[in-house]
Amino acid sequence: MNSAVCTLFEGDYHYGVGALVNSLHRYGYQGSVEVGYRGNLPTWMHDAKAVLKGTSITLRFHPLQTDWHLTNYKPRFLLELFSADPALDRIFYFDPDIVIKCSWEFFEYWAESGVALVEEIATHGMAYNHPLRRKWVEIANGLGISVKPTFSQYFSGGFIGVRRSMMRHLQDWARIMEHLPALGIDLRRFMPADRLHPFCGTDQDAMNIFAMATAPFLSTIGPEGMDFIPGGFTMSHAVGSPKPWRKNYLLSALKGIKPSAADKAFWDNAATPIRVFPASLVRQRHATIHLSSLIGRFYHR
Q: Are 40 and 12 in contact (CB under 8 A)?
A: no
Residues 261 and 154 in one domain: no
For 83-104, what is each residue's pLDDT tens digit?
999 999 999 999 999 999 999 9
Phi, psi of 94 (to 5 degrees): -130, 135
Q: Distance between CA 216 and CA 222 in Å, rounded?
A: 17
| Interacting residues of 286 by C-beta distance below 8 A, sequence separation 6+ | 267
Residues 155 and 41 in one domain: yes
Residue 60: which CATH number?
3.90.550.10
Residues 246 and 217 in one domain: no
Position 123 scores a pLDDT of 81
- Residues of the chain under the 50 pLDDT cut: none
Position 209 scores a pLDDT of 98
Position 211 scores a pLDDT of 97
Closest by CA position to 1, among listed 104, 115, 90, 77:
90
Closest by CA position to 269, among listed 101, 52, 54:
101
Q: 296 in helix, strand or coil?
A: helix
Q: Are 225 and 121 in contact (CB under 8 A)?
A: no
Q: Which of 192, 226, 260 is the last residue of a domain?
A: 226
Position 296 scores a pLDDT of 87
How many domains would you assign to the chain? Answer: 2
Position 54 scores a pLDDT of 85
Residue 114 neighbours by CB distance under 10 Å: 18
Residues 70 and 198 in one domain: yes
Q: Which of 226, 249, 279 is the last residue of a domain?
A: 226
Position 271 scores a pLDDT of 93
Q: Is residue 231 part of a domain?
A: no
Q: Which amino acid is it at 140?
A: A
Residues 171 and 268 in one domain: no
Position 298 scores a pLDDT of 82
Q: Where are the alpha helices (DSSP H) in the chain?
A: 14-26, 43-52, 74-84, 104-113, 131-142, 167-179, 203-213, 249-254, 261-268, 279-298
Residues 249 and 114 in one domain: no
Q: Is residue 233 part of a domain?
A: no
Residues 61 and 203 in one domain: yes
Residues 246 and 105 in one domain: no
Phi, psi of 63 (to 5 degrees): -65, 135
Residue 158's domain spans which residues? 3-226
Residues 100 and 196 in one domain: yes
Nearest-Å Rg of the Cα atoms of the chain is: 19
Residues 201 and 174 in one domain: yes
Position 87 scores a pLDDT of 95
Q: Distance between CA 17 and CA 276 in Å, rounded?
A: 9
Position 297 scores a pLDDT of 86
CA distances from 175 to 42, 72, 79, 87, 202 (A): 33, 12, 12, 24, 12
Q: Is residue 235 part of a domain?
A: no
